[in-house]
Amino acid sequence: MSRNAHAMLCELGRITSALLQEKGYIAPVDVFLRFGYLTQADYDRWRRGQIPALERVIQLNLTRITFLMQALRRQSLQGHLRPSPTVYTSWGSGPRRRLRFSVSGQAQIEAAYATHYLRPHVKEA
């Protein structure tokens, strides 16, 4: 593993821990925001439907995006977090439409971006 990949994984661990503590879940878009690869302004424009695919404004090449997404999934499942499919729709006035994450629009890629990782349900005694 390269030094850059190792550093990215270490930072991913810090970011995901902070997100779990603050929000109780981890969303890939929040990870990209925290890393600084996605600006809040670009995220807001995408949520308003002004950007056709989120990947167009993530400041990272597709190889690194894929690496980060796979690492996030692996880390979350190893941490016994529960994957939860989520639907992202546009903000603003007018009809709500489903937002697209990837340029390709492949269902598997779209599902990966839209999956949030939640703490497991705690059974009450």
Q: Where are the domains of the chain?
A: 3-118
Segment 73-107, tens digit of pLDDT: 999 999 999 999 999 999 988 889 999 999 999 99
Measure CA 65 to chain center: 10
**Sheet architecture: strand order including 25-26:** 25-26, 115-118, 82-85
* 1 pLDDT tier (thresholds 50, 70, 90): low
Tell me the mean pLDDT in the region 19-41.
97
**How high is the mean pLDDT of the chain?**
93
Contacts of 61 (CB under 8 A, 6+ apart): none
pTM of the predicted model as reported, rounded to 2 decimal places = 0.90
Distance CA 83, CA 74 (A): 11
CA atoms within 13 A on the CB side of 40: 1
- Residue in the block written with tokens 């009809």: 95
